[in-house]
Amino acid sequence: MGLIEKGKIEGILSGYKKLCIATVCSHSALQIFRGARQEKVHTIGICTKDRLEFYKSFPHAAPDEFLVVDSLADVPVDELVARDAVAVPHGSFVEYVGERLDGMAVPVFGNRRSLQFERDRMKMFSWMEKAGLRVPKTMKPEEIDRMAIVKFPGAKGGHGYMIVKSEKEYWEKIGKRKALIQEFIVGVRAYPHYFHSAFSGAGFRTSYGHVELMGVDRRVESNAEEIARAVAAGGNVPLSFTVMGNASMVLRESLLPEFMEMGRNVSDTSKELFGGMHGPFCVETIVTEDLDIYAFEISARIVAGTNILYHPYAEFTHGEHVSTGRRIAMELKEAFKKKKMNEIVY
């Protein structure tokens, strides 16, 4: 399905009398609902029957209203539009709905074109290159001359990735399967959470607004995080990278300007490539012992690491703690008030 015309979404928005925030009950939904509640914005949870009990069990983070669906891939577009809802995409939302999100006739917070770039590895690489990010080297099997990570298409949260050290090992382990081979960077992973705002004056200036640093996390992966215990116990287990959760981190303050500059460059190039990103995004990085920052992916939407609700950088910007979920509601409220929803919703 092709991309729905922007004019159609603007037509839908022109009929909206109020603001309502909807998302799929998964990933960072509790945070999105909680943040909207703090801003007194009505919320809708798109939920399957089996998840209702869980999402109802948090009185301060449950949505005001549920739309029950058979599958989380079935976004009830007409019901959402009838309720003046703006859909907030998150990792699972994007994953479940896939390319159908392009044509979905409901206003989506941000720019749905950014999600096309997130989905397509080649587009993503060209974006990262244009933004001047230092990226791990991509290799062909015959070029493997160092430790490399092998990524399969459609992998979810690093599941199934493998490590190889030579061409011979590659053919033995991977064979003819379609995969991306990337230099394995040794260092500390850091996932900065940014928020691009059309209206705020805080943060670093971009060509179409400002980029704020909200927080930083580190993904907790099985078994990479715990492998030292297995090795110490004499085990010989292959490294794996399946995401289990996230842990908060703060960066050396001297590294922060470079991270802010990265956020700005990614925003500015997104404007040139596809009209800009709005709202939350993340650059997945690894910082080496020489303090070189490598970037291996951009997430053009809220990431799960923001579920850790206290991050000092958001407080430094807003004077009190503001979660990314709440920041989304704040931005939408302001756009609605200023009648500028078309600028940050597509």
For ligand ATP, the closer of residues 5 and 226 by Cβ is 226
b/e per residue, 192-223, with b = 16+ CB within 10 A?
bbbbbbbebeebbebebbbbbbbbbbebebeb
Say if CB 111 and CB 341 are below 8 A apart.
no
For ligand ATP, the closer of residues 20 and 300 by Cβ is 300
For ligand ATP, the closer of residues 68 and 244 by Cβ is 244
Helix (H, G, I), strand (E, B) or coil at 286: strand
Nearest to 191 by CA among 243, 127, 268, 138: 243
Minimum gap (Å) between residue 126 Cβ and ligand ATP:
17
For ligand ATP, the closer of residues 161 and 346 by Cβ is 161
Which residues make up the interface to ligand ATP (CB under 6 A)? 136, 149, 151, 155-158, 161, 182-185, 189, 219, 221, 241, 284, 286, 296-297
Minimum gap (Å) between residue 222 Cβ and ligand ATP:
11
Name the residue with the smallest CB distance to ligand ATP: 158
Say if CB 275 and CB 111 are below 8 A apart.
yes
Minimum gap (Å) between residue 13 Cβ and ligand ATP:
30
For ligand ATP, the closer of residues 152 and 208 by Cβ is 152
Tokens, residue 284: 């997945």
Nearest to 65 by CA among 79, 103, 74, 28: 79
Nearest to 195 by CA among 86, 311, 278, 133: 278
Burial class from Cβ neighbours inside 10 Å (0-12, 13-18, 19+) for residue 152 reads middle
Minimum gap (Å) between residue 158 Cβ and ligand ATP:
3
For ligand ATP, the closer of residues 37 and 90 by Cβ is 90
Say if CB 263 and CB 270 are below 8 A apart.
no
Round to whole Å and give the CA distance between 248 and 310: 8
For ligand ATP, the closer of residues 82 and 122 by Cβ is 122
Minimum gap (Å) between residue 84 Cβ and ligand ATP:
31
CB atoms within 10 A of CB 64: 14
Terminal C-alpha separation, the chain: 16
Minimum gap (Å) between residue 42 Cβ and ligand ATP:
30
Minimum gap (Å) between residue 187 Cβ and ligand ATP:
8
Say if CB 229 and CB 276 are below 8 A apart.
no
Residue with tokens 């983070």: 61
For ligand ATP, the closer of residues 65 and 297 by Cβ is 297
Minimum gap (Å) between residue 149 Cβ and ligand ATP:
5
